[in-house]
Structure 1
Amino acid sequence: MSRYTGPRLKVMRALGTELPGLSRKPLGERNYPPGQHGRRPKRKSGFGVQLIEKQKLRFNYGLGEKQIQRLFREAKRDRGPTGDKLLELLERRLDNLVFRAGFAPTAVAARQLVRHKHVLLNGRAVNIPSIRIRPGDRVQLAERARSIPVVVESLAEPALIRPEWLVFDAAEFAATVTRTPAPDEVPFPVDVQQVVEYYAVRL
């Protein structure tokens, strides 16, 4: 599957969860699935529950199906819990750090900043959103990016509270990673064990 570029609020309504990486818009009063029969309560199967939890991760972090499968295989090889490792790998993406630092209003916008080389990683311009950050890494906005309207607005009013694993330097337009993100610091509710069970029988 390719990366999703359609209506974002519609996806969040279908999944029943606000995904800060996908959109800043709240569900509001329409917190039911889209469509003619969206208001009717539906009984979800075990597969349906697993699929929803997997799609939360895929849409919030803006990944294609093959990308998240690759990350799952890597997480499965780790000695620790597979689900916790998967969340850690997702949170350690460079585009997610740019979003969590408040440089962009969504992960989608953060990915675009990275793609256009508006972000410096340890002093060097990079354009690969999936680069994995490590403790000690420093991410900074390039000078030409600091006056972009969407960046200015996001810095003035970040979508989320900056996580404890980041130290933000407003004067330098920079953020430094102090430690590895913890699984419980993912900024939306997700039952990652359902994701593990979803892929356990498919990969």
Structure 2
Amino acid sequence: MHANLNSRCLAIKIYTKVGDQGYTRQITGQMVPKFDLQIEALGALDELQSWLGVVLAQLSPKTQSLKSELITVQRQLYYLQADLNVAASNVINAEDVTNLEQRIDTIMAQVPAIKAFILPGGQITGANLQYARTLARRAERTMANLHLQQTKINPILLQYINRLSDYLFALARYANLLDDYTDIPSKTRA
């Protein structure tokens, strides 16, 4: 049985050797450099999505309630990648942006108001979500670069990734509240 399982596993290789010379194949079949703006944007989204897996793996006991919504965000990032990759794919839409805005408003009504910038960090979940926010901002910059320099993308996608970083900031603050952590304000020099 074990030998049979190994032979089935070998039937599908995870390496293709296509990228050995610094190129990758787009879904259209076109070969592009691995630093192509579309590939950079897809990679930035992949990094964010993977980091959210780390967030999920390290949820504190008091933040377990965030699990299903974070899994939903991971799924939406797959849709966002599809929308960037396939012109006919239009999964992310204005309703998704509105849903993020509504969730941000709900969260921000529950956390203490802030009157100054705060230092990113906190307990494990909040700190991980703050880092996710920075990855979302990087993905946003790469998507904007793609949109402005190479290929026009649906403006809804730019709106979505912009709101997603705001959502992750709000969720980080909420996670820290659940974990009884008080945000530390940044202090300016006197």
With the length of structure 1 as denominator, give the TM-score of the two structures.
0.24
* Structure (1/2) with the larger strand percentage: 1
State the structure with more CA Rg: 2
Q: Which has the higher contact order (CA 8 A, sep 6+)?
A: 2
